[in-house]
Structure 1
Amino acid sequence: MNINLHKIILSISLITFALFSNATVKPASIFTNHMVLQQQSKVAIWGWAKPSSKLKIITSWNKESYSVNTDTEGKWKVKIATPSAGGPYTIEFNDGEKLILSDILIGEVWFCGGQSNMELPMKGYKGQPNIGSNEAILKSKNPNIRLYTVPTSSVTERKDNSKASEWKLSEPEVVSNFSATAYYYGKLLHEILDVPVGIINDSFSGSSIEAWMSPEDLKPFPEIKIPFKTDSIKEVSRTPTTLYNGMLYPVIGYGIKGAIWYQGESNYERPDQYENLFPAMVSSWRKNWDIGEFPFYYAQIAPYNYAQLAPFHKGGKYNSAFLRDAQRKSLSKIPNAGMAVLMDIGEENMIHPSRKKEGAERLAYLALSETYGVKGFNAKSPLYESLTIDKNTAVVKFKDVANGLTSFSKQLSLFEIAGADKKFYPAKAVIKGSSVVVSAEEVKNPIAVRYAFKDFVIGDLFGNDGLPVSSFRTDDWDN
């Protein structure tokens, strides 16, 4: 973007800001100058204007005029048609007083949710780095990447609007404080698709999944206590429904292509419950967004020594591998979904892996392959498919093995095998095509195999493309 054009856009923005501050028409907080709208679709826009009046909306890309009546409280909502990628454009609102939103791009929009591993900014947290971020931040200026952060809000009653925020152009000062996972994801999409990309970050550190779900979503889970409107919130990020009320409900319906999700650490103690909560949440989001079964890609939580966190649980299902397994099994329960595996980038004493770029780009691989149809590369980690017993050996077969399995010439050391006594022993494991043959002298009649099924572990089995295999178990035992 040349300097003169930038000055013109800045001047228009200042003028429209002045208009907005005095205008009757007030679009919801997520609709601001510099926003990106999803291309080639009908996107919802909503907000407030004069009560019981007629609001006229004109979109500059096609000069189309839309009329909508406001209700007695002034609320309105309308869907507008968007063209193929391009811009900048304007949208004019008029209920007797005029408001213009400017510098709007049309492109690909993705919603990014979760807890601290999604929230962690490009610059990192204090004492918790994001490797390579300094150079990435320095090179981040790009007017065709736009970033929006939903402000944190934890409340017991649904809010029609989120706190004020604004869409910002990608540049070092902005990117430094924006979600690293979300930024790296959007950057790679823009690089490959060559269209404007809008990224919405809606995350809250330490949040549990039930905090992002509505009371209706949680009815099948009577063990989860839903707060009353008058209740105090003791845990702002872990109280059921409160983040849904304050941060998600106000923006549901904004036109998106799909969503990415990085969460689960705060639910690691309840893997069986998570296995049902997670698909229920995704199903509810899709229903409420009302744009069909949009793609949903998520990061499997990275290995970490959770026993060092209070209340210092050890053993049994407090092993976070059970939560990773719940996420793995969710792939068969959530249509149009994909999972980015992080088995090789976990850190024993840091719950926030410092290699954020790898995880984000693995999520982007899934979108580029599955949503956008880019060919010639592999996007999926090999996934456990079946177990066959052959005398004293177990043969583990994998799917999504595009070009074979590899340990990069290292001996596989993370497989375990068990017989009817349910006692697991370290196993010898050998790669045979798209399978791994597993055995141990102590187990003459094997019935179960586990791989990398530890709280903290660094995976040693990969697809030939370098994407790591998820930890898994073939059994359903309680510990």
Structure 2
Amino acid sequence: MKVIKIGISLIILVNAAVNAKVILPPVIDHNMVLQQKTNAALWGKASPAAKVKITTSWNGKSYSAQTGSDSLWRVSVSTPAAGGPFDITFDDGEKLILKNILVGEVWVCSGQSNMSMPVKGFKNQPVAGSDELLQQAENPNIRLMQIQRQYSVKPEFDGKVIPWTAANMQSVSEFSAVGYIYAKILQEKLKVPIGIIMTAWGGTKIEAWMSPGSISSLSFIKQPLIKEKTKISHNSPSVLYHAMVNPIAGYAIKGIIWYQGEANRSNYQQYDQLMQAMVKGWRKAWNIGEWPFYYVQIAPFKYDGTNNSAFLREAQLKASALIPNSGMVVSLDVGKEAFIHAPDKVTIGKRLSLWALANNYGMTQLAHASPVYKSIHIRGDIVEVDFDHAINGLSTFGKDLTGFEVAGMDKEFYPATAKITSKGVKVFNEKVKKPVAVRYAFKDWVIGSLYNTEGLPVSSFRTDTW
């Protein structure tokens, strides 16, 4: 595939875009990637009652759009199989030509700080292997775009962005490590252009990312109506949705990857429903079907002793059963006791990519789902634990099998001896003669030790509801 380079000409084109009558949202720009083989939405603003002609170079086809009373117009264009570079011409009497457009696969990466953590790392907090990632960064077939941190009480048409840029040392160093690694793996495996849009903000709650409709659909959220003069923060309901999601909502994508949850430990009881409602609201805004939603379960970390994060991890696990076309990456083995931003982002990016490669790109032989607790059978003082997604069984890959606890009717948990069997795991403690419940890795800080034979870790879980 031939990809052109632009330098001084890009400056001229950007200036032309500023002076043209047609105004486009930042996501529709030079160097963008359009989702292949679909009807991709294009939209913008022009003079009231104007007609806008849109012509796509890959097929020479022209489309016509009429602005409404709000000066907005919208059209869908048919995209070809992956390739490029292409042009798109917008003409309402003055022409605006977008250059160096590729067609391929487009994903959005979103969430809080473990998603926004750039390849270069945070201050005193490294990303493992960042130098190697940067040495390999030069790739014109990976295009990156960032929505910068901003919030609003009303839906925004545009906002502050770092425009579409080809992957290189500079652009990759500032981009989400998880998002870039994911895009890099997809590009290597699929051999097509990959576009990835980052919209993430550290320390943010899921409620801020939810649309007003999804917020109002949940009766347990009692929030006052937010008006323009209401005092708000970046964690107020819907403010990040308005400013960091709405400007890209409707842009043709393959799917979304998500890494968030640490900020919602205090209301973990509601998180699975919040997550379900958020995804439903986003899908409604995109209006292109139930695109895949792959997300990362928060990693273990030694918090402050309040709100055991295992309950939030449990809620995230429950959400996978509530959200159609979703999948969860377990990170129980890559956490760091003293670092909430675990350095190993490569493992997370790889595990996210397995979901996409297996479910969306035909590589069905790839194991991608972590083992999930299924049931227990109590035989005397021994509890047998069964799992789904462990067809070839379980393994510790040479580690000691730790993290299991067992309790009797007194609800007091004791560390359990655990052994892998042909069917699952057998646990017992000689102090618990009549066991009724089992927990695994159900703590803030823990190191996961149990995997399926393909190397995907088991999530923390409990069989009780205490």
Q: Tell me the residue number matched to 1:25.
A: 22
* Residues 44 and 78 in structure 1, CA contact (< 8 A), matched pair in contact too: yes
CA distance in 1, matches of 2:222, 2:301: 26
Shift of 1:270: 1.3
Match of 1:41?
38
* Counterpart-to-counterpart distance in 2, 1:138 and 1:221: 50
Structure 1 residue 349 and structure 2 residue 347: aligned? no
1:324-367 Cα shifts (integer Å, max 9, x gaps): 01111111111111111101110111110001111111101111
Secondary structure of 2:76's partner?
Answer: strand
Following superposition, the deviation at residue 115 of structure 1 comes to 0.3
Alpha-carbon separation, structure 2, partners of 1:42 and 1:24: 25
Note the alpha carbon deviations across 1:90-141, whole angstroms, 9 max, x for none.
0000000000001000000001110000000100011010011012112100
The separation in 1 between residues aligned to 2:172 and 2:403, in whole angstroms, is 38
SS at match of 1:360: helix
Aligned partner letter, 2:426: V
Aligned to 2:195: 198
Question: CA shift at 1:448, angstroms?
Answer: 1.1
Query: Per-residue deviation at 1:11?
Result: 4.9
Moved more, 88-97 or 428-437: 428-437
Letter in 2 for 1:328: L
Over the residues paired in the alignment, what is the CA RMSD in angstroms?
1.6
Q: Which moved more, 1:413-422 or 1:81-90?
A: 413-422
Residue 10 of structure 1 and its aligned partner are, at CA, apart by 3.0
Match of 1:183 among 161, 180, 183: 180
Compare 429-438 and 140-149 and name the one that shifted more: 429-438
Does structure 1 retain, via aligned residues, the 8 Å contact 2:146–2:161? no
Equivalents in 1 of 2:146, 2:161: separation in Å?
Answer: 10
**Counterparts of 1:40 and 1:323 in 2: how far apart (Å)?**
38
Gaps of 5+ in 1: 308-312
Give, in whole Å, the separation in 2 of the partners of 1:384 and 1:471: 9
Deviation at 1:64, TM superposition (A): 0.8
Q: What do residues 250-269 of structure 1 show as CA deviations (whole Å, max 9, x unaligned)?
A: 21111000000000000012
Q: Distance between the aligned counterparts of 1:162 and 1:255, measured in 2?
A: 19
Q: Which stretches in structure 2 are left out of the alignment for 5+ residues?
A: none
The answer to whether 1:335 aligns with 2:350 is no
1:179 counterpart letter in structure 2: S
Q: CA deviation at 1:274?
A: 0.6
Q: Tell me by how many angstroms 1:233 deviates.
A: 4.3
Matches within 5 A, 1:445-464: 445-464=434-453
Counterpart of 1:225? Answer: 223
| Aligned partner letter, 1:225 | Q
Residues 153, 239 of structure 2: 8 Å contact kept: yes
- Written as runs of structure 1 = structure 2, the 5 A alignment for 1:96-115 is 96-115=93-112
Per-residue CA deviations over 1:373-431 (Å, capped at 9, x if unaligned) read: 21443212111111122222111111111432111233312101112221111111110
Cα shift readout 1:56-95 (whole Å, capped 9, x = no counterpart): 0000000110001001232111111100000000000000
Among 359, 372, 396, the alignment partner of 2:361 is 372
How far off its partner does 1:232 sit? 4.5
Match of 2:157 in 1: 160
Asked if 2 retains the 8 angstrom alpha-carbon contact of 1:227 and 1:240, the reply is: no
Residue in structure 1 matched with residue 407 of structure 2 by the alignment: 418
Residue correspondences, number: 465
Is 1:125 equivalent to 2:108 in the alignment?
no
One-letter amino acid of the counterpart of residue 182, structure 1 = G
- Aligned counterparts of 2:374 and 2:229: Cα–Cα separation in 1: 46
- Letter of the 2:14 partner, please give it: F
Match of 1:322 among 311, 322, 331: 311
1-structure distance, mates of 2:375, 2:186: 34
Counterpart of 1:310? none
Q: From 417, 438, 454, give the equivalent of 1:428.
A: 417
SS at 2:266's partner residue?
A: coil
Q: Is the 8 A contact 2:145 2:161 kept in 1?
A: no
Cα distance change of structure 1 residues 47 and 203 upon mapping to structure 2, 3 Å threshold? same
The separation in 1 between residues aligned to 2:172 and 2:44, in whole angstroms, is: 28
| % identity of equivalent residues | 47
